[in-house]
Amino acid sequence: MRVRCRPRHAAGLAALAAAGLALAGCGSIDSSEADLQAGKRLFIQSCGSCHALQDAGTTATIGPDLDDAFRASRDAGFEETQFAGITRRWIEIAQAPMPRNLVVGQDADDVAAYVAAVAGRSQRSAVRPPPNLDQAPRDATATIDATPSEPDEGE
Ligand code: HEC
Residue 77's region, left for phi above 0, alpha for psi from -120 to 50, else beta, is left
Answer whether 60 contacts ligand 1 (Cβ < 6 A): no
- Residue 126: predicted pLDDT: 60
Q: Whose CA is nearest to atom 14 of ligand 1?
A: 63
- Residue 6: predicted pLDDT: 41
- DSSP assignment, residue 12? H
- Residue 107: predicted pLDDT: 97
- Residue 123: predicted pLDDT: 73
3-state secondary structure of 59: strand
Rounded to whole angstroms, how far apart are CA atoms 24 and 142?
A: 33
Q: Whose CA is nearest to atom 20 of ligand 1?
A: 63
pTM for the complete prediction? 0.73
- Residue 47: predicted pLDDT: 98
Domain boundaries, the chain: 7-130
Q: Which atom of ligand 1 is nearest to the CA of 68?
A: 26
Answer whether 70 contacts ligand 1 (Cβ < 6 A): no
- Residue 17: predicted pLDDT: 46
Q: Whose CA is nearest to atom 13 of ligand 1?
A: 63
- Residue 32: predicted pLDDT: 73
Q: Which atom of ligand 1 is nearest to the CA of 43?
A: 37
- Residue 77: predicted pLDDT: 93
- Residue 4: predicted pLDDT: 41
Ligand 1 centroid, distance to 132 Cα (angstroms): 28
Q: Which CATH number fits domain 7-130: 1.20.1250.20, 1.10.760.10, 1.10.3720.10, 1.10.4080.10?
A: 1.10.760.10
Residue 154's region, left for phi above 0, alpha for psi from -120 to 50, else beta, is left
Ranges of residues in the chain with a pLDDT under 50 are: 1-15, 17-26
